[in-house]
A = this chain, B = another copy of it.
């Protein structure tokens, strides 16, 4: 990329994501996008289907450009920054070296991102495709009171897909009833809590611990919000 776009400023958003975990990376993009400068090019590669049938894409969002496999990695960020135009990458059209079957991050995606960052037109990277055809996968953002665990951060805090419209009183997960507070130190060390995370989504955690380990949570675990006017369900243990 330094060869093809020597003027571009490269920002390493993350390099150590869990291998093959498309949904985790989709969340990271969703969380980062509001802080990136409009017109920037986002290179995102978590690509367990590398070399198989999935398409490789360049996408023009309303705010940012994206270069990524068409495997759902962009599903969440598209809720903030909808795709307006898309191209299926044809590396034969722009790559200068051999194209391996297993490392498209290096051979397909990074060269395309560098060319876009250097001002090369997307039409030179491949055929235009319908943005409506792009793969959407995983849970979307939920604006209701029912949702699920999207993924975990490196502290073991669980990030849900719930974007609340009002401040809830509590959060229910796997039979537990967690107080909704502002931050970790609002509960004693070792206690579980729920709070509004830094991406605007509800998160659940243990102060000074890992709720992922303590409750043996997995992505997809059902989570629900208890709003102020509701009675707490009578059968929930604590």
List chain A positions with a Cβ less than 8 A from chain B. 2-3, 6, 9, 11-12, 16, 19-20, 34-35, 37, 48-53, 97, 100-103, 106-107, 154-155, 182-186, 195-198, 203, 208
Contacts and interface: CB of A to CB of B under 8 A. Distances in A.
Contact of A185 (B3, B34, B49, B198): B49
Given A37-B3, A52-B183, A53-B185, A101 B16 contact: no
Contacts of A50: 183-185
Going nearest first, the 3 A-B pairs with the smallest beta carbon separation are A51-B183, A52-B185, A103-B198
Copies in the complex: 3
Given A102-B195, A106-B35, A195-B102, A16 B16 contact: yes
A135 B165 CA distance: 38
A111 B3 CA distance: 25
* Residue among A51, A106, A186 facing the most chain B CB atoms (10 A cut-off): A51
A50 B198 CA distance: 12
Given A2-B37, A16-B16, A20-B208, A51 B184 contact: yes
